[in-house]
Amino acid sequence: MRLFVKAAVLAAALTGAAHAEPGRLVIAGGAVSRDNVGVHGAFLEHVGANGRIAVIPAASGEPAQSAAAYIETLRGFGVNADRIDIVRLAVIDDDATPDVDESAWAANATNPDEIAKISAASGVWFTGGDQMRITATLLTAGGAATPMLSAIRGRLAAGATIGGTSAGAAIMSQTMIARGDSLAALTRPLLTGEASESEMDGGALMVAQGLGFFHYGLVDQHFDRKARLGRLTRALAELAPAQRLGFGVDEDTALVVDLAQNTAFVAGASGVTVLDAREAQATVSRRGRFAVTGVALGHLATGDRIDLATLAITPAAGRAAIPRGEGYYNHAAQSGAGMALPNDGLEDALGVELLDNRVSDRLERVSFDGEGVGVLYVFEETSESFSAYGDDATGAGRYTIGGARFSIEPVDVRIRRSRP
């Protein structure tokens, strides 16, 4: 089903500390500020005033420091430290704790004392780092759930809140993006587990097994700042057609999921991009060059909601629909590449250059490497497109966008310098 926007704002708001069954996911895109009320408040809301919180620092290269930093964040929101347990699960030693070797925690997913911390928790938080470290500790070598992962899933089913940032967001879906950047993901073959270290550092895409808390699609994080639209689109092509839904979460932002109601809303500073590639047509050449047509594209800003069963989007209160053909802007979209182009962020590109623009119904952006191997992104307004605009809580103007069309095609670029 194509992305679209409902006419009315949802009447019911999530309230209080009463738990639904199953619980809530707080999928944060990374770089979450300590004073981000939207993201941290969404996590703490359903934990309750007396609920225990388990912090899992397995992803971090500095696990003790990572856990301590999140505890300080929670204390800033009034959580007493005696309600917080650090789950001793990690694969790397932290130099800040010379008396403790955190790498010795690698097998603790079977440790009854550590599992007991999960069993007592109303909220579980995964810190950032490398998502492969999380799955290496919580999945067996054969990909089965360890006792600790089973305990986490049990708490979620009983109404607990599971949250995570950056790597802690990547592990939420059944299939996860393990590494890669957009340009290499679209122009090089996928990596496998047998890839060399140099290949790992080359930016090509690798997908792996995640933990499967979020079963509505594939999650990506640091989305807009690291320009990950291409890599998420490419990763979707590795899934079965019926599963090709992607959710790209910006930094300092979270997708907050109510599993009982099959709904979600955006909290924090930025937005979430939603890709529907279930009816898209994708091809990959022998050299790894990727092309796709027919992807439906939407963008949710802070306060927007989405029905995860239908992909119906409801704008935040105060964000008014922009009638088709009556956009605020009236200029030809500036297509091309590079730092000289305005509105290079996805939300403003789709809003200012396309859907809130009376002149343009097509926008092109091109990216290429030093050898001229590149891709052309094409964004189009369609009869199903919808946009809304209004200020968020900080007074910043934000767009809600649904039903745009997106495609990628490989290109080769040749640059010839000219004298002035």
Whether 7 shows a pLDDT value over 60: the answer reads no
Give CA separation, 190 vs 204, 283, 288, 290, 404, in Å.
Answer: 6, 13, 7, 11, 27
pLDDT digits (tens, 9 = 90+) for 310-367: 999 999 999 999 999 999 999 999 899 988 999 989 999 999 999 999 999 999 999 9
What would the DSSP string read from start to end of 159-173? T-EEEEETHHHHTTB
Residue 105 lies in a domain: yes
Among 179, 295, 304, 208, smallest CA distance to 254 is for 304
Which amino acid would we find at residue 307? D
Question: What element of type H or E holds 135?
Answer: helix 131-138
For 225-332, strand residue ranges (E) read 245-249, 253-258, 263-268, 271-276, 281-284, 290-301, 305-307, 312-314, 320-321
In the chain, % of residues over pLDDT 70: 95
Whether 15 shows a pLDDT value over 50: the answer reads no
Among 27, 55, 74, 19, smallest CA distance to 211 is for 27
358 and 269 inside one domain: no
Chain-centre distance for alpha carbon 247: 5
366 and 309 inside one domain: no
116 and 194 inside one domain: yes
pLDDT at residue 369, rounded to an integer:
95
User: Which of 261, 287, 314 is where one domain is finished?
Assistant: 314
Whether 11 shows a pLDDT value over 70: the answer reads no
Query: Are 126 and 134 spatial neighbours (Cβ–Cβ below 8 Å)?
Result: yes
Among 289, 337, 339, smallest CA distance to 184 is for 289
Kindly report the CATH number assigned to the domain that includes residue 186: 3.40.50.880
pLDDT digits (tens, 9 = 90+) for 93-138: 999 999 999 999 999 999 999 999 999 999 999 999 999 999 999 9
Cis peptide bond N-terminal to 241, omega within 30 = no
110 and 48 inside one domain: yes
Among 258, 303, 279, 244, smallest CA distance to 384 is for 279
Helices (H), 27-130: 37-47, 63-76, 112-119
Q: How many domains does the chain have?
A: 2
For 315-385, strand residue ranges (E) read 320-321, 362-368, 373-380
326 and 210 inside one domain: no
Residue 284 lies in a domain: no
Tally of CA atoms within 13 A in the half-sphere of 306 that contains its CB: 29
pLDDT at residue 8, rounded to an integer:
30
User: Which of 289, 314, 339 is where one domain is finished?
Assistant: 314
Over range 152-159, report the average pLDDT.
98
Six token digits for residue 246: 């992607």
Cα separation of 156 and 140, whole Å? Answer: 20
Which residues are 387's β-sheet partners?
Answer: 401
Among 216, 214, 226, smallest CA distance to 250 is for 226
Six token digits for residue 48: 């309750």
Whether 20 shows a pLDDT value over 60: the answer reads no
133 and 205 inside one domain: yes
Cα separation of 108 and 87, whole Å? Answer: 9
Among 364, 383, 391, smallest CA distance to 325 is for 383
Whether 400 shows a pLDDT value over 90: the answer reads yes
237 and 344 inside one domain: no
Place of tokens 């909220």: 123
**What pTM did the predictor assign?**
0.94
Residue 292 lies in a domain: no
Cα separation of 40 and 165, whole Å? Answer: 11
Residue 291 lies in a domain: no
Residue 295 lies in a domain: no
pLDDT at residue 202, rounded to an integer:
84
249 and 362 inside one domain: no
pLDDT digits (tens, 9 = 90+) for 184-219: 999 999 998 777 777 777 899 999 999 999 999 999
Residue 81 has phi, psi (to 5 degrees) of -60, -25
pLDDT at residue 344, rounded to an integer:
87
Among 251, 247, 226, smallest CA distance to 32 is for 251
Residue 287 lies in a domain: no
pLDDT at residue 200, rounded to an integer:
78
Domain of residue 365: give its range.
320-412
Cα separation of 29 and 346, whole Å? Answer: 15
Residue 355 lies in a domain: yes
Six token digits for residue 75: 């204390």
Cα separation of 281 and 337, whole Å? Answer: 25
pLDDT at residue 19, rounded to an integer:
44
168 and 268 inside one domain: yes
Residue 283 lies in a domain: no
Among 54, 61, 44, smallest CA distance to 167 is for 61
Which amino acid would we find at residue 227? A
| pLDDT, averaged across the chain | 93
Six token digits for residue 106: 């690698």
333 and 261 inside one domain: no
User: Which of 314, 341, 372 is where one domain is finished?
Assistant: 314
